[in-house]
Chains A and B, each alone.
Chain A
Amino acid sequence: MQISSRDLKRVNVVTVSGRVDSAASPELEKALQDLLEGQRHQIVMELAEVEYMSSAGLRALVSALKTAKKAGGDVVIARPSERVREVIDLAGLTSVFTVYEDTLEAVGSF
């Protein structure tokens, strides 16, 4: 798994690629926690290159979403890969995450 984060004016775009399994998800959780603790509560998760996401990866996203929402922000998903889409759907969380087909559009939503 690779994670990179771009600081835009009001939003952070976090790009994740590769396998987000139980081995990798603590790193994702930490990266999101660091942003949230740094008062960056408006986050776009760009997930086009995620080959695989397990329940542990999904939990990291949900946990960040909850923290962001409490602070008046949000965690939205941009360009999810088919596998990410499937996992969100499998967990019944389709209505919980706002999904955008375009990263710019996701950034503009804040």
Chain B
Amino acid sequence: MSEEKTLRVPGRFESLAEIADFIARVARDAGFDEDDVFRVQMAVDEACSNVVEHAYGPNRAGDIVLSCRVDGNGDLRVDIYDQGRPFNPDVVPEPQVGADLLDVDEMKVGGLGLFFMRKLMDEVTFHFDERVGNHLTMVKRSAK
């Protein structure tokens, strides 16, 4: 198990570029190729965008904490924490991507972002705890 790498940033859109740089560095250090680095980066960007937009929204403020670890198989695990409104992925309708333009345009609560996260990563799990807040775990398996 590698050393844990963490980043704490304000939960605002302005933090997204810093988050993208951080996660790209972590994924590269873990040995992922550039295509997978991009996929991890995109999944994390979508996740953090949802936190800023929906968990915190315009009326709440708080941090986003990212914590990354690579296990013995080379799999990358990213944990993302926020103190915003509880997020329940089950209430987000699955987008009917490609079927109708209307669906993409009118998707609510980050439906397309969530769809991307699930396609880009091997595991996506949401937890909520009164004490910890929202906690999202995503895993990208090593291609080796």
Q: A residues within 8 Å of B by Cβ?
A: 19, 21-23, 52, 54-56, 58-59, 62-63, 65-66, 83, 86-87, 90-96
Contact A62 B20 (CB under 8 A): no
Partner of A54, one of B49, B98, B99, B105: B49
How would residues 91 to 115 of chain B score, 1 for a CB under 8 Å from any chain A CB and 0 otherwise?
Answer: 0000001110110110100101101
Contact B49 A22 (CB under 8 A): yes
Complex alpha-carbon distance, A62 and B103, angstroms: 10
Contact B38 A21 (CB under 8 A): no
Offer 23 A-B interface pairs, CB within 8 angstroms, sorted by A: A19-B20, A21-B45, A21-B49, A22-B16, A22-B45, A22-B49, A22-B53, A23-B13, A54-B113, A55-B49, A55-B110, A55-B113, A62-B101, A65-B101, A83-B38, A86-B38, A90-B120, A91-B97, A91-B104, A92-B97, A92-B99, A93-B97, A93-B104
Contact B105 A23 (CB under 8 A): no
Total residues of chain B contacting the partner, CB 8 A: 28
Is the C-beta of B42 less than 8 angstroms from some C-beta in chain A?
A: yes
The tally of CB-CB contacts under 8 A between chains A and B is 72
Q: B residues within 8 Å of A by Cβ?
A: 13-14, 16-17, 20, 38, 41-42, 45-46, 49, 52-53, 97-99, 101-102, 104-105, 107, 110, 112-113, 115-116, 119-120
Cβ–Cβ < 8 Å partners of B119 in chain A: 90
Contact A23 B20 (CB under 8 A): no
Complex alpha-carbon distance, A22 and B50, angstroms: 9
The list of the 5 closest CB pairs from A to B, nearest first, reads: A92-B98, A23-B13, A22-B49, A92-B97, A55-B112
Cβ–Cβ < 8 Å partners of B110 in chain A: 55
Which chain A residue shows the least CB distance to B95?
Answer: A91
Which chain A residue shows the least CB distance to B110?
Answer: A55
Cβ–Cβ < 8 Å partners of A91 in chain B: 97-98, 104, 112, 115-116
